[in-house]
């Protein structure tokens, strides 16, 4: 689908059509929303660890998605996508990811490290999207993700301690499931995001409850429901309300609007929030290696989004001459359109505007 871009020169407004959406830029508002989602999801790990208590993990996850789906699906219209897509998003992004994550944390994965290992989903998402959707990441995105992975490794080394191998494997599989769900959601391109979040959650509670009955037994399930406590209720309210209904609604909308490689790297900020929250609330003090890894993670996100590219930060790019109205006029190197763009004839001159806008 063609996209229209308008660039205003000093006296003439020029219009360009860019084929296939080659010129992709995440708006400032959507960037802030992506950062908000990462913050919500980072704190989520501490809340899960705090609220799980005596409730079996699979049952706890089933309760979460029951709260997400049951009231809302009665008032929110089903998204205009096939049922297979809804089942795919729910199966990978919700059922697979959180069933495996809750089990991993129940078996000994600390909240900060769980947030860290789960971010393998960034690599999984970009690789799967490249193969399935032909969304080739740019060099900056590859470099940013590589930096992010390096930051993850640095933090993992800094965490130290002994984590059960099965907990680590389950957390990695949760990241793989999340990555597959991201690609299914991206391919669907469903308008909005809340409807897909709510309706994909409808397929989650029954399988998770069945698995909990099979693994934990009816007596443990009954005991968990009877002793859920206020901490479990508050945890469920946060994870279902803010993380699922708000967080995934925003995230699914961003995936429907931008290529995967423009959205998922922002989630690398979640481990930074998780470690900070664990430090403040659980007394898990980060060491020097963890702090260094967190800085590398943030740098990786900025590089993947082009904010720390050498070209963007070069003295020539930031000089007053490069940012002057004349530099933004048609034909100047700074505002040169994508090679695939087709320039149209200039429209009516507008002497009042000298900015660059992309409606």
pLDDT tens, 264-304? 888 878 888 888 888 888 777 777 877 787 788 778 777 87
Q: Is the pLDDT of residue 207 over 90?
A: yes
The answer to whether residues 328 and 9 touch, using CB atoms and an 8 Å cutoff, is: yes
Instruction: State whether 124 and 181 are in the same domain.
Output: yes
Instruction: State whether 199 and 334 are in the same domain.
Output: no
Q: What is the mean pLDDT of residues 303-309?
A: 63
The answer to whether residues 202 and 73 touch, using CB atoms and an 8 Å cutoff, is: yes
Q: What is the pLDDT of residue 160?
A: 55
Q: What is the pLDDT of residue 82?
A: 92
Judge whether 239 lies within some domain. Answer: yes
Instruction: State whether 98 and 201 are in the same domain.
Output: yes
Instruction: State whether 317 and 239 are in the same domain.
Output: no
- Tell me which DSSP letter residue 54 carries: T
Tell me which of 32-46, 102-116, 294-308, 335-349 is least confident.
335-349
Average per-residue pLDDT for the chain: 77
The model's confidence at residue 209, banded by pLDDT at 50, 70 and 90, is: very high
Tokens of 184: 């299914």
Q: What is the mean pLDDT of residues 220-236?
A: 90
| Single residue among 263, 287, 320 that ends a domain in this structure | 263
d(CA 152, CA 348): 52
The answer to whether residues 16 and 343 touch, using CB atoms and an 8 Å cutoff, is: yes
Give the number of domains in the chain. 2
Judge whether 55 lies within some domain. Answer: yes
The domain in which residue 353 lies consists of 3-19+312-357
Q: Please count the CA atoms within 13 angstroms of the CA of 117 that sit on its side-chain side.
A: 26
Q: Is the pLDDT of residue 197 over 70?
A: yes
Instruction: State whether 56 and 117 are in the same domain.
Output: yes
pLDDT tens, 39-56? 999 899 889 888 887 789
Instruction: State whether 343 and 216 are in the same domain.
Output: no
The model's confidence at residue 306, banded by pLDDT at 50, 70 and 90, is: low
Instruction: State whether 318 and 242 are in the same domain.
Output: no
The model's confidence at residue 164, banded by pLDDT at 50, 70 and 90, is: confident
Instruction: State whether 235 and 330 are in the same domain.
Output: no
Q: What φ, ψ does residue 162 adopt, rounded to 5°? A: -120, 120
Judge whether 351 lies within some domain. Answer: yes
Distances (CA, A) of 73 to 76, 80, 198, 223, 255: 5, 14, 6, 28, 21
Judge whether 305 lies within some domain. Answer: no
Closest CA to 349 of 10, 2, 13, 1: 13
Describe the crossing of helices 270-277 and 139-159 by its angle, rounded to 10 degrees. Answer: 20
Judge whether 273 lies within some domain. Answer: no
Judge whether 297 lies within some domain. Answer: no
d(CA 111, CA 190): 32
Instruction: State whether 9 and 97 are in the same domain.
Output: no
Please tell me which of 5-9, 108-112, 194-198 the model is most confident about, judged by mean pLDDT.
194-198
- Residue found by looking up tokens 């296939």 in the block: 20
| Single residue among 239, 263, 287 that ends a domain in this structure | 263
| Single residue among 231, 248, 263 that ends a domain in this structure | 263
Q: What is the mean pLDDT of residues 8-33?
A: 58
The model's confidence at residue 308, banded by pLDDT at 50, 70 and 90, is: low
Judge whether 343 lies within some domain. Answer: yes
d(CA 122, CA 247): 17
Instruction: State whether 259 and 213 are in the same domain.
Output: yes
Judge whether 272 lies within some domain. Answer: no
Instruction: State whether 217 and 193 are in the same domain.
Output: yes
Instruction: State whether 343 and 249 are in the same domain.
Output: no
Rg (CA), the chain: 23
Strand partners, 6: 15, 357
């Amino acid at each position: 689908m063609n996209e229209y871009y308008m660039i205003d020169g000093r006296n003439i407004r020029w219009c360009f059509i860019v084929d296939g959406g080659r010129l992709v830029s995440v708006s400032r508002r959507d960037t802030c929303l992506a950062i908000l989602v990462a913050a919500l999801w980072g704190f989520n790990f501490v809340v899960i660890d705090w609220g799980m208590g005596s409730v079996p993990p699979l049952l706890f996850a089933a309760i979460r998605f029951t709260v997400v789906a049951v009231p809302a699906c009665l008032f929110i219209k089903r998204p205009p996508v096939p049922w297979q897509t809804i089942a795919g998003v729910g199966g990978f992004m919700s059922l697979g990811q959180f069933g495996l994550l809750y089990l991993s944390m129940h078996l000994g994965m600390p909240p900060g490290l769980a947030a860290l290992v789960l971010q393998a989903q960034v690599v999984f998402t970009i690789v799967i999207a490249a193969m399935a959707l032909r969304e080739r990441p740019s060099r900056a995105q590859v470099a940013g993700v590589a930096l992010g992975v390096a930051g993850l490794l640095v933090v993992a080394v800094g965490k130290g301690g002994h984590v059960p191998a099965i907990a680590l494997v389950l957390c990695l599989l949760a990241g793989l499931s999340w990555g597959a769900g991201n690609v299914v959601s991206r391919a669907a391109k469903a308008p909005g995001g809340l409807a897909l979040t709510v309706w994909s959650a409808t397929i989650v509670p029954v399988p998770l409850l069945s698995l909990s009955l099979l693994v934990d037994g009816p007596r443990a399930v009954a005991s968990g429901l009877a002793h859920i406590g206020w901490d479990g209720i508050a945890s469920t309210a946060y994870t279902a309300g803010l993380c699922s209904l708000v967080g995934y609604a925003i995230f699914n909308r961003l995936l429907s609007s931008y290529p995967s490689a423009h959205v998922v790297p922002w989630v690398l900020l979640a481990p930074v929030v998780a470690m900070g929250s664990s430090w403040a609330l659980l007394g898990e003090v980060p060491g020097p290696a963890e702090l260094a890894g967190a800085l590398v993670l943030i740098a990786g996100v900025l590089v993947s989004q082009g904010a720390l590219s050498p070209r963007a930060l070069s003295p020539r790019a930031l000089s007053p001459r490069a940012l002057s109205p004349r530099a933004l006029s048609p034909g100047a190197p700074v505002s040169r359109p994508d090679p695939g763009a087709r320039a149209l004839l200039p429209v009516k001159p507008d002497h009042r505007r000298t900015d660059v806008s992309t409606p």
